[in-house]
Amino acid sequence: MSLRAAAREHLERLTARGVSAHTLRAYARDLEKFAAFLASAEGVVPAPEGVTGAMVQAFAAHLRGRELAPASISRALSAVRGLFADLAARGAVPANPGAQVAGPKRPRRLPRHLPAPDMAALVASPKGEGRLAVRDRALLETLYASGIRVGEAADLDVPDLRLDEGLVRVRGKGRKERIVPLGGPAREALGHYLALWGPWRAKGRREPSRAPLFLGRMGDRLTSRGLAWILARRLSESGVFARISPHGVRHSFATHLLDAGADLRSIQELLGHASLSTTQRYTHVSLAHLEGAYRDAHPRARGGRGDGPRRPPPSGRNPG
């Protein structure tokens, strides 16, 4: 089997496992880059069993030489390692040649989020009772109340809502489902939206077997890109000067919970993180918040006169 054919079968298996379309497209591009690199460097694309660790290492050096972002290099190497891990598990190759090839160290970035007053301004930015304003308020309330990803919000169907219980069923990464609570404002906004948009719901024809929750003007499901565009437009109308990505609402959700005393394990469950270590990055954000509050409030946190005069040590005693 050729390397490209093995890559196609691998991507088909990932599709069956529920890997997102966005990730699959990225992996497909990365694996094609790997095959093209081998064709250029070796004169021919070797069969999977002929790929060596040195070839994968050379591919990593090639990507670094192109000055790609560390995240892009890491993802490409992850795609290669994933392909050969799959092949090795099925006995098609003796070992994974990329297992020992490390990706670049990625700088640790704190999640960018909005303070609670700015989030309140953003959620309240759609004014009036027009159809689009009502929809956008319901969308923003849902994103902030639940902390779900924009892609998860786009994938919601009406039956996923249990408004009487204040719950929503979310399909996360790998199609894993979780139940997330919704607060009163989100439940009210969603109820108003569903009542107003009823006449348009039957117009969408792309998914007759499903009932998409968030709809575009023509009655079809809003895409992740459409939801992100709505968020950007409403942010510009809110008077909030900070700029955040669609994921920033999710970061704000987690940070505000942590600042209010929620425990990490509960936040992990709400966010749908497979590992607690992914959730722990929010502790750094919260720590920065606490340090700021300490500096502003504690009389001993600031230098200068606020510390008060130092008393001399008692006579005859060593001050150290």
> pLDDT tens digits, residue range 71-104?
889 999 999 999 999 999 999 999 999 888 887 7
173 is catalytic: yes
Whether residue 153 is predicted with pLDDT greater than 90 in this model: the reply is yes
Res. 240 pLDDT band, cuts 50 70 90: confident
- Binned at pLDDT 50, 70 and 90, residue 217 comes out as confident
Long-range (24+ apart) CB contacts under 8 A made by 134-138 are 134/189, 134/192, 134/193, 134/196, 134/197, 135/193, 135/197, 135/214, 135/215, 136/230, 136/234, 137/189, 137/192, 137/193, 138/186, 138/189, 138/190, 138/192, 138/193, 138/214
Sequence-distant (≥ 6) Cβ neighbours of residue 278 within 8 angstroms? 268, 271
**Catalytic status, residue 250:** yes
Angstrom distances, CA of residue 90 to CA of 95, 99, 192, 309, 316: 11, 16, 52, 74, 80
Taking the C-alpha atoms of residue 137 and residue 128, their distance in angstroms, rounded to an integer, is 10
Residue with more model confidence, 276 or 168: 168
Is-catalytic flag, 284? no
Instruction: With a cut of 70, say whether residue 120 has pLDDT above it.
Output: yes
- Which of 119-123, 240-244, 308-312: highest mean pLDDT? 119-123
For the chain, where do the domains classified as CATH 1.10.443.10 start and end?
Answer: 116-295
- Mean pLDDT for all residues in the chain: 82
- What is the reported pLDDT for 283? 66
Residue with tokens 């404002």: 185
Kind and range of the H or E run holding 162: strand 161-162
User: Per-residue pLDDT for 291 more than 70?
Assistant: no
Q: Where in the chain is the domain with CATH 1.10.150?
A: 3-89
Q: Is 149 a catalytic residue?
A: yes
CA distance 138 to 193: 6
CA 269 to CA 275: how far, in whole Å? 10
169-181 per-position pLDDT tens digit: 998 877 788 898 8
Q: Which of 8, 33, 131, 247 is catalytic?
A: 247
* Active-site residue, 33 included: no
Tokens of 110: 């704190």
Name the most confidently modeled range: 97-106, 144-153, 266-275.
144-153
Q: Does 56 or 257 have the greater pLDDT score?
A: 56
Task: Say what angle helices 264-271 and 281-297 make with each other, to 10 degrees.
Answer: 130
Closest CA to 196 of 145, 138, 123, 155: 138
Render pLDDT for 28-52 as a digit per residue (tens, 0 to 9): 999 999 999 999 988 888 999 999 9
Q: Choose, from 273, 281, 284, 289, the residue flagged as catalytic.
A: 273
List 149, 187, 221, 234, catalytic entry:
149
Of residues 176 and 320, the one with the higher pLDDT is 176
Looking at the chain, the whole-number percentage of residues with pLDDT higher than 70 is: 81
Decide yes or no: CATH 1.10.150 for domain 3-89.
yes
pLDDT at position 210 over 90: no
Between 268 and 275, the higher pLDDT residue: 268
* 187 among known catalytic residues: no
User: 67 pLDDT exceeds 50?
Assistant: yes
Contact 224, 251 (CB under 8 A): no
Under CATH, which number does the domain 116-295 receive?
1.10.443.10
What gap in Å lies between CA 156 and CA 113, rounded to an integer? Answer: 24
Q: Which residues of 268-284 are buried (b: 16+ CB within 10 A; e: fewer)?
A: bebbbbeeeeebeebee
Predicted TM-score (pTM) of the model is: 0.57
